[in-house]
Every structure is written in structure tokens, then in C-alpha cells.
Structure 1
Amino acid sequence: MKITFLGHAACLIEEGGKKVVIDPFLTGNPQAAIKASDLKVDGILITHGHGDHLGDSVNIAKNSDALIVAIHELALYCKAQGAPKVHGMNIGGSYNFDFGRVKMVPALHSSAIVENGNSMYLGEPCGFVIQMKDLTVYHAGDTGLFHDMAFIGEEFEIDLALLPIGDNYVMGPDDALRAVKMLKPKRVVPIHYNTFPVIEQDAKVFKSRIEKETDAKCIVLNPGESVEI
């Protein structure tokens, strides 16, 4: 499995000839490693409806004929915007797709989009546990720390956890460290930091703390860099 960090919270997973992108915010992202038009995928997973996560999902879906997977209300919104294929889910549900098995898990955040000055509710925010062959990746989405992360760690042997560390809108490094202790993943990649001044963090300090205080290996990726597991 190859995981590429595309910037902010956008991550590309490749396994067995299948490609899945999560939260493809590329246009307008100062960290973006590629252009949305360069991305061809089989599946698009969206954790919530904020613009820095919904991002280019619909356009990528149109260009790739890709399936969008999201919470029910957000899936319907994407369909109304012209996405060719959508699959709505809800918290706690799992489904087998041709690219792997996906379970939708909770996240503590909000989820809406503002259009013409009006805020539109787009369902609850979520995280995803993605199983492709014998490997498991957890993308936490935008979230604060919550104790049920321990249940996710008990249910799955997580090979890699993609965790936000930016603070202000999401977990900061202290809470992300506590999350790692509950999830017990083999590897951690920090995401959702340094895109904007308000979420600036030192990922090297976070890496040092993770590897000192837990058994996990922390891999800091610059946008465009990959790790294979």
C-alpha cells in the first residue's frame, strides 16, 4: 500500500491497482502537491462538508467517473452538484467497495457549507477506517479528541493513522498524542497543520513525542511525499 500526502488533510491511498483519495482540497490549497485535474481515482471519501475537505471532490468525480463516499446528506449534495456516482453512509456503518472495505466512524467537529451567505447543513462529520487487502488505515477527519477512539483501536489493528494536529479547529499535538495512545496504531502521519497561520505546528516535535511516549512510528510527510507499508 502506498499513501501520499497531498497537503492539508488530502491523502491518496493506492493498493492493488485501485486509488482512493480522501478530502481532496487542492484548488486554493497553498500546500497542494498536485492539481485536481491531474488526479484520477476510483473512490473519493469525504469526511465532512467544509470547503477545505469537500474541496475538488465533485470535479474529480466527474473527471474520473469515481464513486464519492460520504455521510448521507453530503452524498446527496454531491449528487445534486453533478457527481456521477455517490454512496451515502452513516456513523457506525461499513460497506464493501471494489477498492476495499470502509467503516464510517465518529468525529467531533461541524459540517456545513456556506452558499450565497447561507449555511447549509451537510450531515455529521466523520472519520474513515479503510481496509484494503490486509492493511488498515484510519483517517480521523477533522476532530477533537474523544474517548471512543479507544474502541476504534480495540476493533482494528491500525497499520497507519492519519491524525490532525493543527489545533484551533481540530486536535492539537497534546490531544493527538493522547489519541495515539488510545488507537495504538503502528504508524502515524500528522495532517491538517501549517496550511494556514492559525494551524501552524512543529511536526518534528510531535514526531519526537510520539516515538518517545508510544510504540508507534511517526512519519512526517511533506506535500507530495509518500510512505509504503
Structure 2
Amino acid sequence: MKISYHGHSVVKIMTGGKTILIDPFINGNKLTDLRADKEKPDVILLTHAHNDHVGDTLEIAKENDSMVIAPVELANYLGTFGLETVGMNLGGSKEFDFGTVKYTKAFHSSSYTTDDGDVIYGGMPAGILFKAEGKTVYHAGDTELFGDMELIGKRNDIDVAFLPIGDFFTMGPDDAAYAAELLKAKLVVPIHYNTFPPIKQDPEQFRKLVKGSDVKVLAAGELFEI
């Protein structure tokens, strides 16, 4: 399984000949190396409805007939635009031909703001457990620290965890480091930082705080294998 990071919370997974794109916020993301018109994912996974996570889903999915998997209310909304969507909810899992997707809890908010300024309720925010090739990837989405991360770690042998460290809107470096201890992931990658002034952080400081897990601080476009 090949995985790459592309700024903010954008993660790409390549497995079994399929490309999965998580939270494809590209246009407006000054830290990404991607171009929305060049991306051709088979699947888009969304953690919640905020515009900096839904991002360019509509454009990319329409252009490539990508399947969009999202919390059910968000999936229903995106389905009104003619997208192929699968709406899931917290605790639910489904096996697809590219791997298994399970939604976990996240403590945050979730709404989508249209170009006209209308605010659409996006259902519950979520984290994602993705399993394929005998590996487990956890993308925490936007969340604060919460005790059930320990349960997620006990119930799943997590190979890599993508954790927000930006503070202000999500947990900051201290809480994210404690989350890493609860999850017991083999590898931790910081996300959701430095995109906007309120979430400016030093990922190297986060690395120093983490105990018991390896940490990769990735540049946009950097790829690794698990």
C-alpha cells in the first residue's frame, strides 16, 4: 500500500490498483501540490462536511465518476448533484473491492457552506479506519482528544494514524501526542496545520512530544509504503 500526504488533511492511498483520496481540499489550499483537474481517484472518502475537507469533491467526482463515501447526511446532499455516493454512519463498516471502510467518532462540527452562503447540515463528523492488504490506516478527521481513542487502538492494529495538530479548531500538539499514545499506532503523521494563521504549528515540536510511535513529518506530495 502506497500513501502520500498533500497538505492540510489531504491523504491519498493507492492499493489494489485503486486510488483513494481523503478530504480533497485542493483549490484554496496553499500547501498542496495537487491540481484538482489532474486528480483521477476511484474513490473519495470524506470525514465531514466543512469546506476545507469536502474541498473539490464535486468537480473531481463528476469528472472521474468517482465513488464518494461520506457520513450519510453529507452523502445524501452530494448525491443531489448526481454523484455516486455511499452514506455511512459512526460505528458502521463496509467491505468494498478496494478495502474496508469504517467510520469512527470525532468530536467537532460538520456543515457545508454553499457559494450562495447557505449552510447545509452535514451530519456527524467522523474519523475513518481504512483496511486493505492486511494494513490499517486511521484518519482522525477534525477532532479533539477523546478517551475512546484508546478503544480504537485496542480494537485495531493501526499501522499509520493521521492526526490533526493545528489547535484552535482541533486538538493541538500536546493533545495529539497523547492521542498517539492511546492509539498505539506504529506510525503517526501530523495533519491539519499551517494552512491558515490560527493553526500555525511546528510539526517538529509535535514529533518530540510523541512517545511509543514513529513520526513522519511529510512534505506535500511525499510518499511512503506500509
Task: Please give the range of the TM-score, normalised by the shorter of the 2 chains.
Answer: over 0.9
* Inter-partner Cα distance in structure 2 for 1:175 and 1:18: 34
CA shift at 1:16, angstroms?
A: 2.0
Q: Which residue of 2 aligns with 1:97?
A: 96
Q: Which residue of 2 aligns with 1:64?
A: 64
Q: Which residue of 2 aligns with 1:22?
A: 22
Matches within 5 A, 1:1-229: 1-83=1-83, 85-115=84-114, 116-210=116-210, 214-229=211-226
Between the two proteins, the alignment pairs up a number of residues equal to 225
CA RMSD of aligned residues (A): 0.9
- The AA in structure 2 aligned to 1:216 is S
SS in 2 for 1:190: strand
CA shift at 1:209, angstroms?
A: 1.9
SS in 2 for 1:7: coil
Relative to structure 1, the CA distance from residue 117 to residue 64 in structure 2 (aligned partners, 3 Å threshold; closer, same or farther) is closer
CA shift at 1:81, angstroms?
A: 2.3
CA shift at 1:91, angstroms?
A: 0.4
* Inter-partner Cα distance in structure 2 for 1:22 and 1:153: 21
In structure 1, list runs of 5 or more residues that go unmatched. none
Q: Percent identity?
A: 49
Post-superposition, which runs of at least 4 consecutive aligned residues in structure 1 deviate over 4 A? none
After superposition, give the CA deviation of every residue in 1:34-66 in whole Å (9 maximum; x if it has no partner). 101111111110001100000011211112211
SS in 2 for 1:223: coil
CA shift at 1:135, angstroms?
A: 0.6
After superposition, give the CA deviation of every residue in 1:121-153 in whole Å (9 maximum; x if it has no partner). 111100100001101000000000111111100
* Inter-partner Cα distance in structure 1 for 2:193 and 2:117: 27
